[in-house]
């Protein structure tokens, strides 16, 4: 008797077409998001239990940081355009938009370093007050994420220059995009809570 | 210009406008609570826009959407558990 054996390949239905790498990045984002939540909530709890808390606008350079926020929004746009380009098979577009995102990230870090330099020279150091500690720990933690993102973009850009990505192979660009947008998304909350409220 | 690019540009413009409005609100002389509620509403709107459009959450499956959004109530519970006593401090 000729028995036909069929092998059933397990499908990843609950997650659609999401690759393991993409799911892994989402898990990292969730865990990282909770780390940021921990820092922001700890800051809020300290603030609520403190008798006096400085007004951010009197100590920090709000217009400069607002520009940095705008810059990060622009890099989110260039990142999503990089993915959109390679999905259409436009390798040149991918490289150009990744380069813009990389430069935006570097500029963001440069502005943050400049801000720290002036604050520290003005006597506002991490040990100055509870407010200063909250400010430096939260913004520095975010800055490290931007720095990691810049390195990550450089690696993907390098691979893009070697011609690794195409209309059929753009998973890594999508995963990088998720990380970079998360960095932008978290900054929106950090900017509001640390600088504006 | 393709439709996706138009959507991404429009989103970036909305995000920039919301940021400018947020800065404006921070200088307004309204009640502190009103200011906090307005600023947090704007920030959450911006975050949702980034997640929904730039991170393409809108195209993900229901299961993944649940996994992504479940930590939000967890964060709220965390906040409440850390600061539940604050309203009572002014009473005592």
Contact B39, B26 (CB under 8 A): yes
For the segment B5-9, the average pLDDT, to the nearest whole number, is 93
For the segment A86-107, the average pLDDT, to the nearest whole number, is 97
| A99 assigned to some structural domain | yes
Categorize the per-residue pLDDT at B90 as very low, low, confident or very high, splitting at 50, 70 and 90.
low
Please state the domain count of chain A: 1
Residue in B closest to A82 by C-alpha: B5
User: Look-up: residue for tokens 């995963």?
Assistant: A175
Average pLDDT, rounded, for chain B? 86
Contact A98, A156 (CB under 8 A): yes
Q: How much is the pLDDT for A11?
A: 60
Contact A195, A60 (CB under 8 A): yes
- For A44, the 3-state DSSP assignment is helix
Categorize the per-residue pLDDT at B86 as very low, low, confident or very high, splitting at 50, 70 and 90.
low
CATH of the domain at A79: 1.20.120.80
For the segment A57-71, the average pLDDT, to the nearest whole number, is 90
**Neighbour tally for B34: CB within 10 Å:** 11
- For B83, the 3-state DSSP assignment is helix
Task: Kindly state the tokens that stand for A17.
Answer: 């077409």
Q: How much is the pLDDT for A125?
A: 93
Average pLDDT, rounded, for chain A? 91
> With pLDDT > 70 as the criterion, what percentage of chain A qualifies?
94
Q: How much is the pLDDT for A12?
A: 57
Task: Kindly state the tokens that stand for A118.
Answer: 């002036």
| A9 assigned to some structural domain | no
Contact B15 A196 (CB under 8 A): no
For the segment A83-95, the average pLDDT, to the nearest whole number, is 95
Categorize the per-residue pLDDT at A55 as very low, low, confident or very high, splitting at 50, 70 and 90.
confident
Buried b (16+ CB within 10 A) or exposed e, A78-116: bbbbbbbbbbeebbebbbebbbbbbebbebbbebbeebb
Q: Which residues of B touch A80 (CB under 8 A)?
A: 8, 53-54
If one compares A11 and A125, the residue with the highest pLDDT of the two is A125
Contact A73 B64 (CB under 8 A): no
Q: Phi, psi at residue A166, to the nearest 5°?
A: -150, -175
Q: Does residue A53 carry a pLDDT above 70? A: yes
Task: Kindly state the tokens that stand for A161.
Answer: 């220059």
Q: Does residue B92 carry a pLDDT above 60? A: no
Buried b (16+ CB within 10 A) or exposed e, A134-166: bbbebbeebbebbbebbebbeebbeebeeeebe
Minimum distance, in Å, between the CA of residue B65 and any CA atom of chain A: 9
If one compares B7 and B75, the residue with the highest pLDDT of the two is B7
Categorize the per-residue pLDDT at A182 as very low, low, confident or very high, splitting at 50, 70 and 90.
very high
**Neighbour tally for B11: CB within 10 Å:** 20
> With pLDDT > 70 as the criterion, what percentage of chain B qualifies?
90
Q: Does residue B18 carry a pLDDT above 70? A: yes
Flag whether residue B49 sits within 8 Å of chain A, measured between CB atoms.
Answer: no
Flag whether residue B79 sits within 8 Å of chain A, measured between CB atoms.
Answer: yes
Q: How much is the pLDDT for A14?
A: 77
Q: Does residue A1 carry a pLDDT above 80? A: no
Q: Does residue A59 carry a pLDDT above 50? A: yes
Listing DSSP states for A108-125 in one string gives HHHHHHHHHHHHHHTT--
Q: How much is the pLDDT for B10?
A: 95
A79, A184, A189 ranked by CB distance to B43: nearest: A189
Q: Does residue A4 carry a pLDDT above 80? A: no
3-state secondary structure B7-19: HHHHHHHHHHHHH
User: Look-up: residue for tokens 């003005």?
Assistant: A122
Task: Give the span between the Cα atoms of A195 and A127, in whole angstroms.
Answer: 19
Q: How much is the pLDDT for B38?
A: 92
Flag whether residue B76 sits within 8 Å of chain A, measured between CB atoms.
Answer: no
For the segment A92-103, the average pLDDT, to the nearest whole number, is 97
- Mutate which: B9, B19, B28, B41, vs A, most A CBs within 10 A: B19
Name the residue range of residue A142's domain. Answer: 20-48+60-196
Show Cβ contacts of residue A75 under 8 Å, excluding neighbours closer than 6 positions.
A100, A101, A104, A105, A108, A180, A184
Task: Give the span between the Cα atoms of A93 and A85, in whole angstroms.
Answer: 5
Instruction: Please write the tens of the pLDDT for every residue from B39-80.
Output: 999 999 999 999 999 999 988 889 889 988 888 888 788 777
Contact A188 B43 (CB under 8 A): yes
């Amino acid at each position: 008797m000729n028995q036909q054996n069929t092998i059933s390949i397990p499908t990843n239905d609950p997650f659609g077409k999401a690759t393991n790498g993409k799911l892994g990045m989402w898990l990292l984002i969730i865990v990282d998001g909770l780390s940021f939540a921990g820092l922001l909530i700890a800051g809020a709890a300290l603030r609520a239990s403190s008798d006096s808390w400085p007004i951010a606008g009197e100590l920090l350079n709000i217009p400069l940081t607002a520009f940095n926020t705008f810059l990060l929004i622009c890099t989110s746009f260039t990142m999503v355009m990089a993915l959109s380009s390679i999905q259409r098979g436009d390798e040149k577009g991918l490289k150009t938009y990744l380069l813009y995102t990389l430069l935006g990230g570097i500029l963001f870090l440069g502005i943050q370093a400049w801000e720290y330099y002036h604050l520290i020279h003005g006597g506002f150091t991490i040990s100055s007050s509870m407010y200063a500690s909250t400010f430096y720990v939260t913004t520095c933690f975010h800055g490290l994420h931007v720095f990691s993102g810049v390195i990550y973009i450089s690696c993907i850009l390098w691979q893009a220059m070697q011609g690794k990505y195409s209309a059929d192979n753009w998973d890594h660009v999508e995963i990088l995009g998720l990380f970079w947008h998360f960095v932008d998304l978290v900054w929106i909350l950090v900017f509001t809570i640390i600088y504006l409220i | 210009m393709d439709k996706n690019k138009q959507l991404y540009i429009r989103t970036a413009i909305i995000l920039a406008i919301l940021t400018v409005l947020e800065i404006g609100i921070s200088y307004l002389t309204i009640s502190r609570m009103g200011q906090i509620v307005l600023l947090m509403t704007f920030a959450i709107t911006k975050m949702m826009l980034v997640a929904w459009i730039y991170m393409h959450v809108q195209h993900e499956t229901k299961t993944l959407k649940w996994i992504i959004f479940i930590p939000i109530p967890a964060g709220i519970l965390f906040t409440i558990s850390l600061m539940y006593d604050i309203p009572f401090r002014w009473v005592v």
